[in-house]
Chain A
Amino acid sequence: MSNEPWQMGEIAGPKKALIITKPSVVVGMVKKAKRALMVVGHEISKYDLGEESAIDYMIRIAETFKIPIVATAHTVSEFVKRSCYPIWWMSALDIANRLQDPEWEGLDGKGQYDLALFIGIPYYMEWTILSGLKHSAPNLKTISLDRYYQPHATWSFPNIKIDEWFTHMKEILGQIVEK
């Protein structure tokens, strides 16, 4: 089950995402990357953490990693409401299209990224976008931070429950702070 796609028909090809078994994998990947960014889609609001907000959590992780956030669709409105952390906004396809262009100057004009973390785009749309990047952006690594296995990412969590996912996020944050 662990490396099965969440939506059962969305079978990938021979090259499938490695499974993130420990949150340290994410931390290590981000630390190793020269330039990383995080792409957050509108379904982030579906992550029901009770008292906590998944958006706040993503902001804290991005802030601690010192990586920019690109909010897709109308998700930027949620970030604007609660944060002074600088947020970029772009549609999911626009950011993906730029990530596969070796000549893109990046959000800040300093060049292309070598790592992109994705979360909150509808599963099947994130699936197709990650597929596009797998094939067309050979120098880019991708991580799905969602709680569903995304076979086209370079690294992905398996299908996990929300509390397990939240524990992982807390550990990621804890580990970056420690380091």
Chain B
Amino acid sequence: MTSRKSIHFKLDKLKSNLAEIDGLEVSIGKIMGEEWEEPFGPTPCPSLATLREWDLKLLKRYKPFYLPYCDVCCLCTMGKCDLTAGKRGACGLDICTQQSRIVLLACCIGAATHIGHARHLVEHLIEKYGRDSPIDIGKSVGVDIQAPVTRLVYGEKPETLGDLEEVLDYVENQVTQLLASTATGQEGDKIDFESKVFHAGMIDQVGMEVADMAQISAYGFPKADPEAPLVEIGMGVIDTKKPVILVIGHNVPPSVEIIDYMGEAGLSDSVEVAGICCTSIDATRYNPRAKIVGPISWQLRFIRSGIADVIVVDEQCIRTDVLIEAKRTMTPVIATAEKNCLGLTNRTRDPADEIVADLVEGRALGALIFDPEKVGEVAVRTAMLLAPKRMKFKVIPEAKEIVEGAGKCAQCRFTPCMRACPNNLPIREAMEQAAQGDLEGLSNLYEACIGCGRCESACTNELPIHSYIIGASEKRIREERFKIRAGRGAIQDVEIRRVGGPIVLGEIPGVIALVGCANYPKGGNEVAEIAGEFAKRRYIVTTSGCSAMSIGMYRDEDGRNLYEVYPGGFDAGGIVNVGSCVSNPHIAGAAIKIASIFAKRKLRGNYEEIADYIHNRVGAVGIAWGAITQKAASIASGFWRLGVPVIVGPHGSKYRRMLLGRKDRKEDWYVYDARTGDKVFVGPCPEHLFYAAETKEEAMVMAAKLCMRPNDTPKGRMIKLAHYIDLHKRFYKVMPDDLHLLVRTEADLPITMKDEVMKILAKKGWKGNVIPDPTLLPRLVHVKEGKRDEQ
């Protein structure tokens, strides 16, 4: 069943009293601009259970391992219910089902956030540019397959901004239905919840694609440009002599209007616009002169530095105490989104002069303004007038104050500061050292500090610990001057033509997608090290959002910035920044386009077949090393349904469940050979679908392994095995123990390691296997009855 709401009918002849018409075709509810010859596949506009069978295939192999984050459920008034170890709640739910329900809730929040963002953007852009404004995300460079995710899921190809509204109607409906299934007394099976989690992720991919297509097209962001400009990133790149406007969030229209107002007023050289989180990435896509301060975790440090004269927040990933923090540095806050009003007075209809006067004179801590154009004017004029008064008033202490403050540290026996810190940083020791006049200990905490401020809330003496860490790291912060390639958007069809074959055959060893937020266990440098390692090995590294920033805010051992060393093309050895969070579907889209362009599979409403293709052939792995949000959860689940594995960092174990394969269960690793219908053992490829790694070393070894696919040619598998063995030996100092499961024929063996590996295989009693034309879908087997049986 699908949820397509449009009605389409065709009559060869219509005869009425008024007229006689031949070949009448009527579409109700279908307003897409251009006819599309490709026939519909089996599942356009899938509803909640349309792709359930596909999900169940994946979930049979990658079973959920639940890691309950709370033993009770408190979602209804019959509770709280203790669900410990086999107990059921008043509604009948057990702990595992409750976890899967919470995962679905998280993914619904994530999907709704992106879709809500997309809806706002599309409405705003239609108002500004018109409903017929064309979707163009790279036509001039041959991006013929625009909107691959939308085509695959929704079954239409949007051509104008107006077309996107219809796509959003569909995804909004799906999120509502999904959310409904989390109600008390609704879905009662954990695997069915998991299937719905996949649905939420897939729907989210459509919503994000809509948002990015709309902004790329209307604002003229780089269009599938591998040479998108290098832009500046880091606290050290901000010109503090100028008035500074700080933008935070994800939804770029207010930032665009600020930049435009500055241009119109001739102030482009007089005011700095700098941003935190994805809105800053998108601001630099609009105008490369905008600057990026850093990822989500840079908020407290930058606000407290007093550098910003005005703060403009839009939506998502904004500290909810931004108003309290900004008040301390006398920086007014302009809120711009209905989803995030911060308790401010709505000044949308007030004259700009009045609002500016109130903010400059300190009569209001901030203002709520829903009109992005007015935000542009108010922010710029306020910054200009306020900067000379504020004199960059900051609350980050000087070295002398830090030493004095650290002297007040009680050296608490049970270290509430350290125990509040997500990364368990040794704050007490650093304070003791600081009290002696040595700030090095505090400065050493800088890299792994995620800027949450929890230590301060916990400190028995109310010491501003985070500010001390920042103050002690002043020199390092001044030197935070880096480059990042601006988000390029989609991958060109011609790039896919060039690399599709080598990826599917395995000769490009894999696509590593470093995405997600900045809750890193040991700092952002780890993300950059992972990116550098795989780019050096000539994988294709793609990235977006805060991870893309962390890759930029790093210099390798030769002092080089990775974006300056590695090109931005979707090719072996490239580091490809697609853009902000909502640009992630370009990465999924690249995999989808490989199936379409290289393998000539049909896209339109043909999800299951394309996912089967990607799962068995495209060696892509997502790494969300610092995933924090519900959005990151839904982004990951969009990849799961396509059969693409995702690795998270150790904090990701708090997502409540993993999807783990069992390489020791041989029966789990059979596929159909589409040529013969035989079931063929292909080994644990890929071994897991969702997996939290303890260390970056483990993540790298696992990522190399997860790039293997049943379809790899011997040459491709040889290359992939060589990387896997090399990384394993380097970090683990031993040979892998599962080579007998990954080698299919002797031709798979890396030549230089052949003797060594053959000895291991002999000990394990290894026997070779055929390399199939792999599929999990019996209907794709070419031969007819006889050899087919259900899995």
Residues of A at the B interface (CB closer than 8 Å) are 1, 6-9, 12-15, 41-42, 72-74, 76-77, 80-81, 89, 91-94, 96-98, 100-101, 104-105, 121-125, 128-129, 131-132, 134-136, 138, 159
In the complex, are the beta carbons of A7 and B419 less than 8 A apart? yes
The answer to whether B85 touches A131, judged by C-beta atoms less than 8 angstroms apart, is no
A residues near B65, Cβ cutoff 8 Å: 93, 96-97, 100, 132, 136
Determine the distance from Cα of A159 to Cα of B418 in the docked complex, in whole angstroms: 13
Complex: how many Å from CA A13 to CA B98? 14
Asked if A8 meets B702 with Cβ closer than 8 Å, knowing A41-B694, A74-B732, the reply is no
Residue pair A6, B419 in contact (C-beta under 8 Å): yes
- Cβ of B69 and Cβ of A76 under 8 Å apart? no
Contacting pair A89 B737 (CB below 8 A): yes
A77 to B694, CA, bound (A): 15
Task: Verify B654–A128 contact, CB threshold 8 A.
Answer: yes
From 61 to 105 in chain B, residues with beta carbon under 8 angstroms from any chain A beta carbon are 65-72, 82-86, 95-96
CB neighbours of A104 from chain B (8 A): 664
Is B340 positioned at the interface, with any CB of A under 8 Å from its CB? no
**B414 beta carbon closer than 8 Å to chain A:** yes
Contact with A along B170-201 (1 / 0, CB 8 A): 00000000000000000000000000000000
- Please name the residue on chain B nearest to A131 by beta carbon: B68
Q: Does chain A have a CB within 8 A of B651?
A: yes
Apart from A9-B420, A74-B701, 18 more pairs, CB < 8 Å: A7-B419, A14-B82, A74-B732, A77-B731, A80-B734, A93-B691, A94-B660, A97-B662, A98-B664, A104-B664, A121-B694, A123-B424, A124-B653, A128-B67, A128-B654, A132-B68, A134-B84, A135-B71
Q: Is the CB of A97 within 8 A of B658?
A: yes
* Assembled-state Cα–Cα distance A98/B662 (Å): 8
Majority SS at the chain B contact face: mixed
| Residues 641-670 of B at the A interface (beta carbon under 8 Å) | 650-651, 653-654, 656, 658, 660, 662, 664
B650 A135 Cβ-Cβ under 8 A: no
The interface residues of chain A lying within 8 Å CB-to-CB of B737 are 89
Could you tell me the distance in whole angstroms from the C-beta of B688 to the nearest C-beta in chain A?
8
* B441 at the A interface (CB under 8 A): no
Q: Choose from B422, B691, B698 the contact partner of A124 (Cβ within 8 Å).
A: B422
Give every chain B residue within 8 A of A76 (Cβ-Cβ).
732-734
**Separation of A175 and B552 alpha carbons in the complex (Å):** 54
Q: Are B654 and A135 in contact (CB under 8 A)?
A: no
Known contacts being A6-B419, A7-B424, A8-B458, is A15 close to B695, with CB within 8 Å? no
Question: When the two chains form their complex, are residues B653 and A125 in contact, meaning their CB atoms are under 8 A apart?
Answer: yes
Nearest CB in chain B to that of A96: its residue: B65
Nearest B residue (CB) for A91: B698
Residues of A within 8 A of B420 (CB): 7-9
A93-B658 in contact (CB<8A)? yes
Contact between chains at B693 and A138 (CB < 8 Å): no
Check: B166 CB closer than 8 A to any chain A CB: no
Scan B103-122; emit 1 where CB is below 8 A from any A CB, else 0: 00000000000000000000
Residues of B within 8 A of A97 (CB): 65, 658, 660, 662
B416 within 8 A of A: yes
Whether B660 lies near A77 (C-beta < 8 A) is no
Q: Nearest Cβ in chain A — how far from B756, in angstroms?
A: 16
Is there contact, CB below 8 Å, between A72 and B694? yes
Q: Which of B403-447 contact A (CB under 8 A)?
A: 414, 416, 419-420, 422, 424
